[in-house]
Structure 1
């Protein structure tokens, strides 16, 4: 994440500054050459170029036959020779075809087409015949295919950038030997793995100063070679390759003038070799997200010119070297996500230019006090979370810094609320969850957070009346979960002073909030994640919650809410997670099928009656369906195969389950599930869960064969129902199941033979007296084996017969039983009869309940 920030910063400089420079230069150019006439041959060549291009940004609108090309946007003209010499068309939303008319611009030495979209077309080979070019920039222009060998003819080229295009590749790089004047070379994201001598070839360029080869599918940096002749190199980026070897020794032979070395995310192993210590002038070193082990050696702290050091996300151990206090120019120091132990050396407090200090997610211990921050007057970002540090400063301490972000979760800070926070007037990111803070929040606190964007005080012991909370328009995240906040929820939601809030995440779960949900949701229309679970809330879900049209997760679980789920929630079409478990609700609404973006639907233990509506199968994105421990009747819908997200490999939905606000400030969705009977909380791993839990209901009929199509299903619990018939043999196709529970139903026959179904404990099948076969101790008789081999009554037969009987209607009940009696000895048809009877009863019950609810609402309206 830290490296990502650095990359974005570099890209900003690469993209924005050249564009700004070019635009400002247009005005200068228009004044200085207004009296110069454009060479006609150059003008016609440019007009031909324009005809082949698509100009979505209207950048070429000034290219007119009626105007002199000397004043056209993006065109630069040399008065001395009277010819066009430069084209600056970067980030201009151009596309289409690049015309060969460019060859007629005989004096063109600068061509910049970066940041456009040429729709995966090849790089034009004729560019290799533009011998005057010294600067060619095709960065991020969506070219693809083989990098043309003809570019090797450009012996005057000093700057070549082909980075970050779509599927560029090389078959070899020997053609590059012609680029004798090259100083800047960027082939980032091009596939170079076919050329095993890649680095040897590039080391022969005597003037090469900057080399960018990140994400080039290199599988080796040639660690066995002892020498590379990079005599002029100042910047080297080899990040994002999969090397799987130690840091090469040849780094010690790099130019002593090397200023920047990027090796992040390159699968480098072992320790940080002393060869890097020879790079005396090195200012920027990134080894982020590798597989480095062993201790950080003290000599690394002797590189006094270092301004940026990133060793985060490795497996480095041992203490932080005290020599790091000698890095007098250091501005950014990332040591997070390692296995570092010991304490933080007080020598770090001498780094007067330090702006970012990241030491979190380590095994650091002992006390941090005022001495650790003695001279850190420029510190902006402090990340100490998930260590075993004790932050112990005097109550009257005034820090020398003004922080932008303070991430101090899971370290010992309390029991007192840290008073030094009052001095921090620039704080935007504030995390102090699980920090042992207890007691009442001080009166100054809620006024102090007026400029904070992200607040996480979860998992402490803070007491506070919610009516005291003041949210300014800057606050976007408020996480106070697992504390002792109390008071009526309506006093917080409806107070006038926060009606202009822009809150996007509100998590007040596991507190002592009380009362009914208010009708003030119009004031909270920026909400994306809302969690009010595990409080003392009562009453109905208000219709006004439909105003939360941007809502993606709604958590009201474990309260005393009752009644219907209002149809107004249909307006919240972006909902991806609904958790209303452990309440007192009525029936699952038919409109639930319209919530097609739902990933998680948890309605367990909420006293739902009626049946599971067929419309639920319209939720093709569903990954978790938990309806356990209700009073649901009828059969399992026979359309479960429509849950396509449970039949396909994982798709990228991380952005929903974890919302990042900063490099380390994030909000992670969580959900309590009981796939194995014991309730467990899922957080980061929730995105991997595929679950159907219909246990502890009154469901009848058989298991739909379609369930076998859900090949990615991990947990299936159908226990403690009234399901009958055989277990479909096709269920052996569910090879990814981690748990299957079919206990305490009425299944019969043999458990289908497969490695998967026999791998579960016998307890997952008990309570089915007529079920037999491994892993149960009961062996199958000949009759039961033959029934299993000849499944006359498959689910398809059941469905057809059930549909037939349903079509007969209530008026033909007597005839129905006569037929059913005649077929009594046919086992499968007998199940169909019973299944129909159960469904008929459910239909009558649900229809009656719906009509009664409608009559009750009508009565209430009339009374009003």
Structure 2
């Protein structure tokens, strides 16, 4: 015993000495260091993530590198980008965010023989290269996920790492890898496989068995392109499998009727597919199942009652299906651990015993449709933080019941009622939830009152009436947290009220589609955080150029279309402005040059006003209109709660190509200038047509003159151009034929002339694009240009040459005419007024007659 203690103590002392020695001197293995530096050479590091990777320093001290305490060999390499915000990425949809490392992943990293884990996730790598055979025997964890621009043609190299247990390649393009399933099945130690959002297409649906190792526990194939039946091999995996995620694909068909070999399954996610048929009975036998998510499919038949036996179930998501029949307390009999329940189908009826008390306490509930009353057991859910009720017709029999519901709802953090008809006067309600969405309902009365806890309040497309002062002026507190207010598309009337000083946290305000009137109140000047203001489609008036909005220096969206605002276009708009929509008002004056100092501007819409003067030549100073690499980050609102976060983006209705369209997630890609239906004069400068990133340009119904500049060919992204009903002259420039994205064109009712450039897409538009130009010819117009060949040819010269040549010909013809007249009358005068000239003239005629007679007789005799 003593000898063993002595040996142990010696080993411990030796380890401590070695550890101390490593702290004093550089202990990094030179071969590992060489491999890491070679990797660094192949990448670009704009954020300086590898700034500590220097030759003279110990590589064990480099950022992201972890070495063994004793051997000092590299065992973990973690270079996940610290600057990547997942929430922001979800908002942007396209991952435009600045990440860290770009370039090439050199697989020689795997030659570090003691490397156990490699994490290069959330970067911008584009390629993988290999200078080695990749034969690692220790590596058990590899994460290359969320390198969205990384495309791999083969995963064969992974099969040479038999020790791999965890693989995450989510959000990598694997479309070209058709043999991915084989390479995964040859890994004997694989425990977890994540291939979410990889653009995979082949899943071998007819394969009965996939020979995964018996150690496999998690398989995630969410959001791919599997257009097939559910694969048979999925349901024949090892009984040790715990989680299967096949959601958000294109799977069709039905679940198998026979009980699969998945006795230990804890999570089955099939939502967002095209699955149909009934839910098989074997689902009710999975005693360890905690998550069952089948929402947004086409499952039908009765909702199975045996699901009520799954005592381990905590998440049941089944909304968006076609279930029929009655759902009652029998369907939830033993679900004592249930925390999340969502169940919705237009063909089911909920019929609960009013005395039933559930065995569970829910955190989240989404249920629809309910009729005619709310189930009484709802009021027993004291832990509920998220309640969503949709597509229901609920009637409170008395005001007391109405008050009971709103009193109960005040304890819920996230409250959503949509497409419901609830009787009762909403003005009597006092709302306390942090997040409230009451959309597309049929509420009566006026607006409710809000507590200072409300952060997000959306109450649009209902039938509420009265003044907004009932909501905004009841509170005299300065600690209100409200950031998002949407009361659009109701029947609200009166003024904008002057109580905005109590709501300084507001970032988004939408009061559009009501009957509001009056001016912008002074207290709006205190909304220093306001980024989006929508006052469209009301009866508001006044001079907005001198309103209190000029103090809202964070404003990014100003939407006041279809009102009666007057005065000049405001000059005070901040440089952060992205959208200016002033159409259909009574604005006068010129377009201010300050517009050109807004680099983020993507929509300038001042159509249908009384604007005069010239179009500013400086519009090409707006960066977003000219720089193809310039990307404006979009305005979004993120709200966090106990159940996670949700995101709202701004939207806008725009008139494009003659049609109104609602732009939402694609609004940030819009580049638009609409100055139509005003009194603009002057010519269109070449600078206007240097806006190479503009998509939509409408200058119609003005009094513009001059020609269409040839620089229009620079607008390579242009999709719609409307110059109709102006006073434009000259020819259609040949450069317009290079606008390959142009799908809408209107040049009608101008004074254009000459031939429409032939052999281009300009002939693909209808006659309506060109009518009202009397001197315009060529297809698609019926007027043929061949009868005007000389004129057409002459019109090809520039206007100055045309003018000079025309003046010269006029003078020439006039001179010839005057000369002929002078000579003619000079001869006639001499004959008729001089006797001697008259006798000589007639003698000449008689002599000419005789000569002609003799010549004729001579020629006739020769023929005889």
| TM-score (structure 2 length as normaliser) | 0.69
Corresponding position of 1:748 = 751
Gaps of 5+ in 2: 1-11, 34-48, 82-99, 414-433, 728-749, 802-806, 811-864
After superposing the two structures, state which structure 1 stretch, 477-486 or 334-343, moved more.
Answer: 334-343
Matching of residues 265-664 of structure 1 within 5 Å: 265-279=223-237, 280-299=239-258, 303-338=262-297, 340=299, 344-361=303-320, 369-383=328-342, 388=346, 390=348, 392-394=350-352, 396=354, 400-407=359-366, 412-413=369-370, 421-432=378-389, 435=392, 442-447=402-407, 448-452=409-413, 453-466=434-447, 468-473=448-453, 475-496=454-475, 499-565=478-544, 566-592=546-572, 594-647=573-626, 656=635
Secondary structure class of the residue paired with 2:152: coil
How many angstroms apart in 2 are the aligned matches of 1:173 and 1:272?
Answer: 39
Secondary structure class of the residue paired with 1:496: coil
1:673-696 residue CA offsets vs partner (Å, 9 max, x unmatched): 333445444444444443333332
Structure 1 residue 508 displacement after superposition: 0.7
Gaps of 5+ in 1: 1-31, 54-92, 104-110, 118-122, 795-821, 826-864
Structure 1 residue 429 displacement after superposition: 4.0
CA 1:174–1:551 in structure 2 vs 1: closer, same or farther (change >3 Å)?
Answer: same
Corresponding position of 2:53 = 97
CA 1:150–1:224 in structure 2 vs 1: closer, same or farther (change >3 Å)?
Answer: closer
Secondary structure class of the residue paired with 1:569: helix
How many angstroms apart in 2 are the aligned matches of 1:689 and 1:395?
Answer: 54
Corresponding position of 2:76 = 136
How many angstroms apart in 2 are the aligned matches of 1:340 and 1:112?
Answer: 56
CA 1:357–1:471 in structure 2 vs 1: closer, same or farther (change >3 Å)?
Answer: farther
Corresponding position of 2:21 = 41
Secondary structure class of the residue paired with 1:244: coil
Structure 1 residue 362 displacement after superposition: 5.1
Corresponding position of 1:210 = 166
CA 1:487–1:194 in structure 2 vs 1: closer, same or farther (change >3 Å)?
Answer: closer
1:158-207 residue CA offsets vs partner (Å, 9 max, x unmatched): 55555556639653385442x334444445568683765224312xx2x5
1:496-553 residue CA offsets vs partner (Å, 9 max, x unmatched): 2765321221111111222221222222222222111111212111232132222221
Corresponding position of 2:160 = 201
How many angstroms apart in 2 are the aligned matches of 1:567 and 1:699?
Answer: 25
How many angstroms apart in 2 are the aligned matches of 1:211 and 1:774?
Answer: 61
Corresponding position of 1:789 = 796
Does the CA-based 8 Å contact 2:624-2:632 persist in structure 1? no
CA 1:546–1:322 in structure 2 vs 1: closer, same or farther (change >3 Å)?
Answer: farther
How many angstroms apart in 1 are the aligned matches of 2:490 and 2:465?
Answer: 7
Does the CA-based 8 Å contact 1:438-1:462 persist in structure 2? no
Corresponding position of 1:264 = 222
Structure 1 residue 446 displacement after superposition: 4.1
CA 1:226–1:690 in structure 2 vs 1: closer, same or farther (change >3 Å)?
Answer: closer
Structure 1 residue 151 displacement after superposition: 4.9
After superposing the two structures, state which structure 1 stretch, 695-704 or 180-189, moved more.
Answer: 180-189
Structure 1 residue 704 displacement after superposition: 3.9
Structure 1 residue 220 displacement after superposition: 1.8
Matched, 1:252 2:231: no
How many angstroms apart in 1 are the aligned matches of 2:224 and 2:540?
Answer: 52
How many angstroms apart in 2 are the aligned matches of 1:366 and 1:782?
Answer: 78
Does the CA-based 8 Å contact 2:652-2:664 persist in structure 1? yes
Does the CA-based 8 Å contact 2:158-2:183 persist in structure 1? no
Does the CA-based 8 Å contact 2:600-2:632 persist in structure 1? no
Structure 1 residue 585 displacement after superposition: 0.6
How many angstroms apart in 2 are the aligned matches of 1:431 and 1:696?
Answer: 45
Does the CA-based 8 Å contact 2:190-2:216 persist in structure 1? yes
CA 1:422–1:623 in structure 2 vs 1: closer, same or farther (change >3 Å)?
Answer: farther
Matched, 1:222 2:229: no
Secondary structure class of the residue paired with 2:22: helix
Does the CA-based 8 Å contact 1:699-1:722 persist in structure 2? yes
Does the CA-based 8 Å contact 1:217-1:242 persist in structure 2? yes
CA 1:477–1:98 in structure 2 vs 1: closer, same or farther (change >3 Å)?
Answer: same
Structure 1 residue 480 displacement after superposition: 0.9
CA 1:378–1:641 in structure 2 vs 1: closer, same or farther (change >3 Å)?
Answer: farther
Secondary structure class of the residue paired with 2:482: coil
1:614-657 residue CA offsets vs partner (Å, 9 max, x unmatched): 22233332232222222222233333333443445697768536
Corresponding position of 2:845 = none
Pick the structure with greater CA Rg.
2
How many angstroms apart in 2 are the aligned matches of 1:734 and 1:438?
Answer: 58
Matching of residues 823-842 of structure 1 within 5 Å: none
Secondary structure class of the residue paired with 2:540: strand
How many angstroms apart in 2 are the aligned matches of 1:158 and 1:136?
Answer: 6
How many angstroms apart in 1 are the aligned matches of 2:437 and 2:467?
Answer: 21
How many angstroms apart in 2 are the aligned matches of 1:428 and 1:437?
Answer: 21
Structure 1 residue 580 displacement after superposition: 0.6
How many angstroms apart in 1 are the aligned matches of 2:126 and 2:712?
Answer: 45
CA 1:774–1:523 in structure 2 vs 1: closer, same or farther (change >3 Å)?
Answer: farther
How many angstroms apart in 1 are the aligned matches of 2:577 and 2:463?
Answer: 31
How many angstroms apart in 2 are the aligned matches of 1:701 and 1:526?
Answer: 45
Does the CA-based 8 Å contact 1:334-1:358 persist in structure 2? yes
Does the CA-based 8 Å contact 1:612-1:636 persist in structure 2? yes
1:17-50 residue CA offsets vs partner (Å, 9 max, x unmatched): xxxxxxxxxxxxxxx99xx88965333227999x
Secondary structure class of the residue paired with 1:270: coil
Does the CA-based 8 Å contact 1:227-1:253 persist in structure 2? no
Matched, 1:694 2:675: yes
CA 1:479–1:276 in structure 2 vs 1: closer, same or farther (change >3 Å)?
Answer: same
After superposing the two structures, state which structure 1 stretch, 668-677 or 611-620, moved more.
Answer: 668-677
1:693-730 residue CA offsets vs partner (Å, 9 max, x unmatched): 33322223344444433344443333333333344444
1:754-782 residue CA offsets vs partner (Å, 9 max, x unmatched): 74544444434555666665545556666
